[in-house]
């Protein structure tokens, strides 16, 4: 559907713009990495450091969640199922098989990924609301099973996970090590997300997010793609859960299989922006800090639930695209000629072509009169456009409007 | 044998209550394509209000319905108008889940804040009364809860079938655009439909409060079975939800004998996953149900 003459126009724009923004991005990345790596030495006391570990753990989970939520648009409220399974599988593997803790964590991740295949086959058959219902049901059923099956999982008494480091490693030092370990896991997850984002596979997933029926009609093997994204997401979530188990050393079904944890992942990702690489990370920093703050300040009262509920409601109502896309579009508003092709109206585009390339303009005129209407072409662009331009989140963002 | 009859009777009573609770969920979904996670939170809220009413006045908790039903109806209309209608149509289904989830969190947190996390129970003169039918013991409170469910479902049925508002509501459920074309103010109807759904939550919550202990986070235990019922029945289908509620309620009650209470609950989830494998749109849902 996209006529060849559309190709040259965006190309020079992205080229001139990408060099500048790439340098900017690289600098931002280095600053971010430096900030993360220097946090343990800046932390005032072990408590702050442990909050940092919690936030990093949330960041891993939210980024892992975003493999499904961000790419396919399937909102899972039940990812706590995979983090909880990962945590328990890690703990149980170490206790029962005497395996090296880190290998145990990896095995647990693979195990959960394998379990995610049949779960994905069942739950990805339905869309939207039904999918969310299934994801919630999964957490509830696992909570029930892990509480009732006390002989194996420790039930409501909890499960003590052996520490991976010897007794000579003191608590603050342990926090520090786990902070870096979580950061490393987060980096791997982010890298994989970025690679998928730029791949053909990622294009297919985003096409599913924009319009699943149309994506299928265009030849995207939607079910396979969704399933792969789902399993990858479950794998990383399980690793995040396993890492948390090794750090915290104690598991209780109530906290491991909690819809609240799953909803935190959604809230973090939405708040930061599910279409951007660092969105979930940013959301995790904000929400993780807020959660720890409210728990610390208001202790046993249920006030933190109210605060979280209101925050989630506000995000859903007023900022469903998240902070990063909102900020990006704000910045873009002050950058002339750096808008993406989506934000240019069809009339502007025709004018641009006429002045820059008379041959293309004529061809464009031709195709337009041939088609009779311009509208179908534009709507088809939402599918293919989302698939062609992988770089900026604003492109696909604009396609939804 | 008498154990079997006992479970059967319990299953029927339980199924009736489930049907009442799930009817509200189907209404929201049918009218607005909204999955209302907060439904069970409103149930617990109604239960607390009934308890608080009895605690303060000493009157029968059923009298609190005179206040809670209109109150919940108003809240439903308000919720639909002020919150849910603000969501973008393209992402309505997904975002409504998150929005109602946040409402559930706020309700749970507020209940915990105001009434504390301790378990509550209504003390009734007839709380321990029971009688025998065909060798099965039936607690009076369970029968009252069932009666409430039957009466309100019948009222709902009559409202939907006999009144002009019911006709407009059904038209909106079946085909919103066509309903708008023939002059139905679908937005107003949607608001009232939402209020109606929440009013069933007021009745259901009060019925629940009659014979069980409740605490703020109890709604998580309810949301799973209720969601399972509407998926098995087919999203948006009221008769489907009623039948699924009966079948699943009976199944749960019967499985309690060999498996025990906790494991019997997994029946709902097994039914849910089995339904998705066999018939993703549910047993009474239209083909469209799969897409939402």
Q: How far is A288 from chain B (nearest CA, A)?
A: 17
Q: What is the pLDDT of residue A347?
A: 62
Least confident of A27-36, A54-63, A180-189, A380-389: A380-389
Distance, in Å, from the CA atom of B152 to the CA atom of B28, rounded to the nearest integer, reads 17
Q: What is the pLDDT of residue A344?
A: 54
Mark yes or no for CB contact B224/A141 under 8 Å: yes
Give all strands (DSSP E) within A237-329, no chain letters. 250-251
Which of A139, A179, A133, A159 has its CA nearest to residue A288? A179
Q: What is the pLDDT of residue A115?
A: 94
| Sole residue written with tokens 């301790």 | B118
Least confident of A127-131, A273-277, A371-375: A371-375
Q: Which of A122, A309, A400 shows the shortest C-beta gap to B106?
A: A309
Q: With a CB-CB cutoff of 8 Å, which residues 261-280 of chain A face chain B?
A: 263, 266, 270
- In this predicted structure, the answer to whether residue B71 has a pLDDT above a threshold of 70 is yes
Phi first, then psi, for residue A159 (nearest 5°) are -130, 125
Phi first, then psi, for residue B39 (nearest 5°) are -55, -50
**β-bridge mates for residue B133, sequence order:** B136
Digit-coded pLDDT (tens) for B227-281: 889 888 887 777 888 889 999 988 888 888 888 777 888 888 888 888 888 887 7
- In this predicted structure, the answer to whether residue A37 has a pLDDT above a threshold of 70 is yes
pTM score, whole prediction:
0.81
The reply to whether A77 touches chain B by the CB within 8 Å rule is yes
- pLDDT average, residue stretch A363-370: 46
The reply to whether A75 touches chain B by the CB within 8 Å rule is yes
- In this predicted structure, the answer to whether residue A19 has a pLDDT above a threshold of 80 is no
Report CA-CA distances (Å) from A218 to A121, A213, A221: 22, 9, 9
- In this predicted structure, the answer to whether residue A342 has a pLDDT above a threshold of 80 is no
The reply to whether A110 touches chain B by the CB within 8 Å rule is no
Percent pLDDT > 70 in chain B is 97
Mark yes or no for CB contact A134/B223 under 8 Å: no
CB-based contact B10:B253 (threshold 8 Å): yes
The reply to whether A24 touches chain B by the CB within 8 Å rule is no
- In this predicted structure, the answer to whether residue A331 has a pLDDT above a threshold of 60 is yes
CB-based contact B170:B12 (threshold 8 Å): no
Closest alpha carbon within chain B to A319: B87
The reply to whether A151 touches chain B by the CB within 8 Å rule is no
Identify which has the larger pLDDT, A20 or B158. B158
Q: Which of B99, B223, B281 shows the shortest C-beta gap to A317?
A: B99
Identify which has the larger pLDDT, A376 or A81. A81
ipTM, two decimals: 0.84
Percent pLDDT > 90 in chain A is 30
Strands A250-251 and B136-139: unpaired
Mark yes or no for CB contact A122/B277 under 8 Å: yes
Percent pLDDT > 70 in chain A is 78
Mark yes or no for CB contact B101/A312 under 8 Å: yes
Closest alpha carbon within chain B to A77: B98
CB-based contact B65:B47 (threshold 8 Å): no
Local confidence band at A372 (pLDDT 50, 70, 90 cut-offs): very low
Q: How far is B236 from chain A (nearest CA, A)?
A: 11
CB-based contact B20:B202 (threshold 8 Å): no
- pLDDT average, residue stretch B199-205: 92
Least confident of A110-114, A376-380, B51-55, B153-157: A376-380
Residue to substitute from A119, A134, A316, interface B, most B β-carbons within 10 A: A316
Local confidence band at A367 (pLDDT 50, 70, 90 cut-offs): very low
Q: What is the pLDDT of residue A182?
A: 93
- In the DSSP assignment, the letter for residue B89 is G
- pLDDT average, residue stretch A219-235: 93
């Amino acid at each position: 559907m996209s006529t060849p003459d559309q190709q040259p126009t965006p190309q020079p724009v992205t080229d001139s713009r990408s060099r500048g923004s790439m340098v900017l991005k690289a600098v931002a990345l280095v600053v971010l990495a430096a900030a993360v790596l220097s946090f343990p030495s800046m932390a005032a006391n072990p408590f702050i450091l442990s909050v940092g570990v919690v936030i990093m753990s949330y960041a891993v989970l939210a980024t892992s969640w975003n493999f499904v939520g961000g790419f396919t648009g399937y909102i899972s409220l039940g990812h706590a199922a995979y983090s909880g399974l990962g945590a328990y599988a890690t703990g149980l593997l170490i206790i029962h098989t005497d395996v090296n803790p880190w290998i145990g964590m990896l095995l647990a991740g693979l195990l959960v990924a394998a379990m995610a295949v049949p779960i994905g086959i069942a739950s990805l058959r339905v869309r939207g609301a039904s999918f969310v219902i299934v994801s919630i049901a999964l957490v509830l059923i696992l909570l029930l099973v892990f509480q009732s099956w006390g002989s194996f999982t420790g039930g409501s008494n909890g499960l003590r996970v052996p520490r991976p480091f010897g007794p000579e490693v003191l608590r603050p030092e342990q926090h520090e090590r786990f902070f870096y370990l979580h950061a490393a896991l987060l980096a791997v997850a982010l890298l994989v997300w970025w690679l998928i984002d730029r791949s053909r596979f990622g294009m297919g997933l985003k096409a599913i997010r924009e319009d699943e029926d149309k994506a299928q009609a265009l030849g995207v093997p939607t079910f396979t793609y969704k399933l792969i994204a789902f399993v990858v997401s479950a794998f990383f979530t399980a690793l995040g859960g396993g890492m948390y188990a090794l750090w915290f050393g104690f598991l209780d079904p109530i906290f491991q299989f909690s819809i609240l944890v799953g909803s935190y992942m959604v809230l973090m990702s939405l708040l930061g922006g599910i279409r951007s690489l660092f969105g979930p990370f940013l959301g995790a920093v904000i929400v993780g800090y807020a959660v720890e703050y409210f728990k610390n300040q208001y202790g046993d009262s249920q006030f933190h639930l109210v605060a979280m509920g209101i925050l989630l409601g506000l995000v859903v109502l007023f900022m469903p695209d998240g902070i990063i896309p909102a900020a990006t579009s704000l910045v873009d508003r002050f950058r002339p000629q750096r808008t993406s092709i989506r934000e240019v109206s069809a009339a502007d585009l025709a004018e641009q072509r006429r002045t820059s390339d008379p041959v293309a303009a004529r061809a464009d005129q031709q195709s337009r009169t041939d088609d009779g209407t311009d509208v179908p072409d534009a709507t088809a662009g939402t599918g293919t456009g989302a698939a062609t331009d992988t770089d900026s989140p604003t492109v696909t963002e604009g396609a939804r409007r | 044998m008498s154990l079997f009859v006992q479970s059967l009777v319990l299953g029927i009573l339980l199924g009736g209550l489930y049907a009442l609770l799930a009817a509200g969920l189907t209404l929201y979904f049918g009218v607005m394509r909204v999955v209302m996670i907060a439904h069970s939170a409103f149930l617990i809220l109604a239960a607390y209000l009934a308890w608080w009413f009895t605690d303060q006045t000493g009157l029968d908790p059923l009298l609190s319905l005179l206040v809670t039903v209109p109150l919940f109806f108003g809240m439903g209309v308000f919720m639909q108008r002020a919150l849910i209608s603000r969501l973008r149509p393209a992402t309505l289904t997904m975002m409504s889940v998150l929005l109602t989830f946040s409402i559930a969190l706020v309700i749970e947190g507020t209940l915990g804040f105001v009434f504390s996390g301790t378990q509550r129970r209504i003390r009734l003169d007839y709380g321990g009364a029971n009688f025998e039918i065909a060798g099965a013991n039936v607690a009076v409170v369970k029968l009252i809860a069932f009666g409430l469910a039957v009466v309100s479902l019948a009222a709902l049925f009559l409202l939907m079938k006999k009144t002009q508002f019911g006709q407009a509501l059904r038209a909106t459920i079946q085909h919103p655009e066509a309903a708008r074309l023939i002059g139905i103010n679908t937005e107003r109807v949607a608001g009232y439909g939402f209020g109606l759904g929440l009013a069933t939550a007021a009745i259901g919550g009060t019925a629940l409060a009659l014979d069980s202990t409740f605490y703020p986070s109890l709604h998580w235990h309810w949301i799973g079975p209720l969601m399972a019922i509407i998926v098995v029945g087919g999203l948006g289908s009221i008769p489907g939800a009623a039948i699924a509620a009966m079948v699943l309620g009976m199944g749960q009650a019967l499985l309690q004998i060999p498996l025990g209470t906790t494991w019997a609950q997994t029946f709902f989830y097994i039914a849910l996953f089995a339904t998705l494998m066999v018939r993703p749109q549910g047993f009474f849902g239209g083909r469209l149900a799969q897409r939402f």
